[in-house]
């Protein structure tokens, strides 16, 4: 039997759920996440810390289920909503991840629209 893992990165927690092929949930694990607020109106995440949180929640769900990790056929992520999480060519985080309401992102939608390929 193959298994599937789903990870939801919410605003306050990251939750991992592990399912069998028929969609039955076998285990879940929740780990708190930290949102950095260096000043009013700013909301950012340390992407390396977020990686560690996800790894921890995945491990907990696998351990709880007793499933052989080699039999996991797929992993899917969902996020807390709009935001900006950039990675470099090396696949590593470029900087902090920004949540949608962070003032750093004000006006960015207009920049993207201006440079969009149509």
Domain count, the chain: 1
| Residues of the domain holding 56 | 3-115
Per-residue confidence (pLDDT) for residue 118, from 0 to 100: 52
pTM: 0.82
User: Counting beta carbons within 10 angstroms of the beta carbon of residue 98, is it exposed (0 to 12), middle (13 to 18) or buried (19 or more)?
Assistant: buried
pLDDT at 78 over 80: yes
Bridge-based pairing of strands 72-78 and 3-9 is parallel
21 Cβ contact partners less than 8 Å away, ≥ 6 residues apart: 1, 2, 3, 4
Q: What is the pLDDT of residues 46-61, one digit of tens each?
A: 999 999 999 999 999 9
Domain containing 95 — which CATH number? 3.30.420.40
Give the three-class secondary structure for 40: coil
How far apart, in whole angstroms, are the C-alpha atoms of residue 112 and residue 12? 28
Q: What is the pLDDT of residues 34-47, one digit of tens each?
A: 999 999 999 999 99
Per-residue confidence (pLDDT) for residue 117, from 0 to 100: 54
Q: What is the pLDDT of residues 11-30, one digit of tens each?
A: 889 999 999 999 999 999 99
């Amino acid at each position: 039997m193959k298994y599937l893992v789903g990870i939801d990165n919410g605003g306050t927690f990251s939750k991992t759920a592990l399912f069998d092929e028929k969609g039955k949930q076998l285990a879940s694990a929740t780990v708190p996440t930290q949102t950095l607020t260096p000043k009013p109106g700013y909301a950012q995440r340390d992407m390396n810390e977020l990686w560690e949180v996800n790894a921890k929640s995945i491990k907990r769900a696998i351990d709880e289920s007793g499933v052989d990790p080699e039999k996991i056929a797929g992993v899917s992520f969902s996020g807390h909503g709009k935001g900006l999480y950039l990675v470099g060519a090396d696949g590593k985080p470029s900087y902090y991840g920004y949540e949608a309401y962070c003032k750093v992102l004000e006006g960015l939608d207009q920049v993207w629209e201006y440079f969009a390929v149509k």
